[in-house]
Amino acid sequence: MPQLATTPPLTTLSEEEELFRDTVRDFAVRAVKPRVAAMERAAAIDLAVLTQCFEIGLMGIETPEDHGGAGGNLLMTVLAVEELSAVDASVAIFVDVQNTLVNNLLLKWASTDVKRRYLPRLAIDLLGAYALSEPESGSDAFGLQTKATKRGDNWVLEGRKLWITNGAEAGLFIIFANADFSQGYKGITAFAVERGFKGFSVGKKEDKLGIRASSTCELILDGCEVPAANVVGEVGKGYKVAIETLNTGRIGIGAQMIGVARGALQAALKYVKERQQFGHPIGDFQAVQFQLAQAATELEAARLMVYNAARLEDAGEPYTMQAAMAKLFSSQVAERVTSLCVELFGGYGYTKEYPVEKFYRDAKIGTIYEGTSNMQLNTIAKQLLK
């Protein structure tokens, strides 16, 4: 049997966590919501929103205060991502990737020098991105072909990366490359690569179904020169860096999905009180009430799974299986709940005049990135059979 967590499920938030959640909720409604439609049309984030995310401390939530961050925990990152996703999942993923995949990785694996050079900037004005996926390396993350060759005091990277979130705006990229293909995945190494490094460029930006204001780009490494001091972790330990970081990242995606589902459900709950059919609001009909009750129940279950996985990591307890379960279930719930909400809006739900069609499109990515649903099932099964 897998090692079971001893920390009880999270049922309440501390006063500090509640205050933080409410602050982010107010920011999401006040500063993000009025810009959502325009960002969706432009398929780009409003840089004023990104600037405000830095200004109110959302881009360095878990970064210690001595590195310029807020000194919070993973649960606070989850709360922020959920609140933002209930308004716009695109803005939420900027915050999520920065905290769970970039800052978190550097805190755990980077040298003192790399932390000193990058963490304070990442908390103030430097956007980060995480670059693992490649054209032929998706679920088989360690089949990557990007090559790293040591030349004097530098490493030279050759290859391409695909599906890189934050790629259009980021100034720092955590890039994984293989320094010794004879060692297989044990040759994989992580590098901190600045946008201005020689041989680095950003290629095609994808035109996506959902989270359209979030950039998803190709990276081109054409003899990209990286100082040896910018190796993150040890040479050949990149596979371990990647796995452990993605375990945390999956909790962040779970938070995004419960936020998306919540935003759609809130819109539907308001609509069913207003929409009249057969002389009554459709919310008066038991068939509609039961569907809403089922959706709310599944959403609450998903939320508790996500919060608990975050709490387990914060407590230093095993959380790999719980993170995979939370990501799997929350993405499934988000698809079901947003689909129901589109149906409850009827024909209006299929138009861009109402918000639920966007929540529906945004939900789909949850079953794909940071590990597909099949990969989560694979992880859960392996943990069960240990």
Q: Which residues are catalytic?
A: 370
Beta bridge partners of 285: none
The region that residue 147 occupies, defined by phi over 0 for left and psi between -120 and 50 for alpha, beta otherwise, is: beta
Contact 162, 137 (CB under 8 A): no
Residues composing the chain: 386
DSSP state of 8: P
Contacts of 41 (CB under 8 A, 6+ apart): none
Contact 328, 302 (CB under 8 A): no
The first and second tokens of residue 321, run together, are 């299986």
Q: What share of the chain is helix, strand, coil (3-state, %, to 5)?
A: 60, 15, 25
Distances (CA, A) of 334 to 93, 109, 167: 16, 33, 25
DSSP state of 134: B
Residue with tokens 């460029």: 201
C-alpha to C-alpha distance for 60 and 69, rounded to whole angstroms: 5
318 burial (CB, 10 Å; 0-12 / 13-18 / 19+) is middle
